[in-house]
Amino acid sequence: MTSFQQRKAIGDAHERYVAEQLAGRGWEVDFWGQGQLSRALQCALRKTGSSIRWFPDLIAAKAKDLVLIDCKGGMTSRQTGRHAVERAAVVAHLQLVAWTQLPVYYVFDGLDARSPYDVLVAGQKGPHSIAGSGAPYVLISTQGARHFDDLFGTPDVAQLDIAS
């Protein structure tokens, strides 16, 4: 079982990787959400039922497109071939889509993506997690996920050379 700090390090690394991949495709990316708050505010927010607890990790823009991205590093099981998303996050993100009229995407390891709607419709109720908060999850197959390049474009070789 991994500790909170280990899970957080995996998540933080995945957020940076997804941000780099978006930037390499010409997107302007900023970190957003709970991860940008002080430790005290993060702890206070986790004790509430507020949907702002689930604000996505990244906000990105390219031309007229604006998207919200929740990075899900370490949330894919190689044994079962399924991604896991906390049920409360799915509900909050569906509300966020309705409120902002902006798309929200979960980006998992391997850069495959799903929307909260995809998870709601095609996912199955999973058990309460034995790691972390013990919250209930929705499990969704890795099969049929959207490809990162299809959603966000292919890497701009010139952009990637500059980033290297």
> What's the pLDDT at 78?
83
CATH number for the domain harbouring residue 39: 3.40.1350.10
Q: Report the number of distinct structural domains present in the chain.
A: 1
How many degrees, rounded to 5, is the angle at CA 97 between CA 94 and CA 103? 115
> What's the pLDDT at 159?
53
The pTM score is 0.88
**Amino acid identity, position 41:** L
For the segment 111-161, what is each residue's pLDDT rounded down to a tens digit? 999 999 999 999 999 876 665 566 889 999 999 999 999 999 999 875 555
The values of phi and psi at residue 36, to 5°, are: -90, -5
For the segment 65-107, what is each residue's pLDDT rounded down to a tens digit? 999 999 999 888 888 889 999 999 999 999 999 999 999 999 9
> What's the pLDDT at 119?
96
**Amino acid identity, position 75:** M
Task: Tell me the average pLDDT across 42-64.
Answer: 92
User: How many residues appear in the chain?
Assistant: 164
> What's the pLDDT at 40?
93
> What's the pLDDT at 76?
86
> What's the pLDDT at 98?
97
Would you place residue 9 in the very low, low, confident or very high pLDDT band (cuts 50, 70, 90)?
A: confident
Task: Tell me the average pLDDT across 41-66.
Answer: 92
> What's the pLDDT at 77?
87
Task: Compute the CA torsion angle 22, 71, 115, 160 (nearest 10 deg).
Answer: 10
Q: Residue 86's closest CA among 25, 129, 34, 122?
A: 129
Q: What is the extent of the structural domain holding 155?
A: 4-163
> What's the pLDDT at 75?
86
Task: Tell me the average pLDDT across 1-10.
Answer: 72
The Cα-based distances of 132 to 4, 8, 75, 126, 164 in angstroms read 7, 10, 12, 15, 35
Question: In the chain, count of helices (H) and strands (E)?
Answer: 6, 10
